[in-house]
Structure 1
């Protein structure tokens, strides 16, 4: 899949591992539901630790992307939900490690609560 990254100096530069916008000329769009840090075998959160929840949520998302016939390069948009914006650095660090460049577009939102008292949730739009 070919992604065209949109970048303009007339809008603020990205403050993390993401692009201002992404254009994909062809393909099928797949909308993934949000994933939290649940262990697929138990249905319980993997840990109370934020970084471990972030890693598991991305692992869950990756499994769904592969099931849809895509890869992490297929991601064009991520939406991240955190219950504490102070964990923004942890999320950026893990995302920088796991998601290949060019980075997808992204939004990050602080929310008051997530299912099962999770600290992090990720949803994605991919093109395959």
Structure 2
């Protein structure tokens, strides 16, 4: 399963009735650290989301709904450009808002996706 930092008690994902529900995914580099560049943090979080979905029989093409949290909404355009680059069409419904994140992370993504048959 996906290795993640100790940020509390939660499961990485759960499958029920052909649907994958994920926990929040944060962006870490190969060394387990937050990348300096915000766009790289977003890319790493989406890559981790895709990895988790694949481990549970799904992928980014099967997204049903996405929830994104930015610690600084002034970075929305930068986030959206990376999101647009990485999330395949047809893009799923998305809820994006600002909020505090643990350990100085700047981006978190939560998703619901269909299991691929």
Q: How high is the TM-score relative to the length of structure 2?
A: 0.79
Query: What are structure 1's unaligned runs of at least 5 residues?
Result: 1-26
| Aligned pairs for 1:31-70 within 5 A | 31-39=21-29, 41-45=30-34, 47-70=35-58
Alignment counterpart, residue 87 of structure 1, candidates 75, 85, 88: 75
Deviation of 1:72 after TM superposition, in Å, equals 1.0
Matched residue count:
99
What's 2:12 paired with? Answer: none
8 Å Cα contact 2:20-2:58 kept in structure 1: no
Separation (CA, whole Å) in 1 of partners of 2:74 and 2:42:
14
Secondary structure, aligned partner of 2:45? helix
What TM-score does the superposition give when structure 1 sets the normalisation length? Answer: 0.73
Q: Secondary structure at the match of 1:38?
A: coil
Which of 29, 50, 57 is the equivalent residue of 2:19? 29
Whole-Å separation in 1 of the counterparts to 2:85 and 2:28: 20
> 1 CA distance for matches of 2:67 and 2:41?
16
Q: Which consecutive unaligned segments of at least 5 residues does structure 2 have? A: 1-16
Runs of 4+ in structure 1 deviating by more than 4 angstroms, as ranges, are none
Q: How far has the Cα of 1:42 moved from its partner?
A: 3.4
Q: Indicate yes or no: 2:114 matched with 1:127.
A: yes
* Rg comparison, structure with higher value: 1
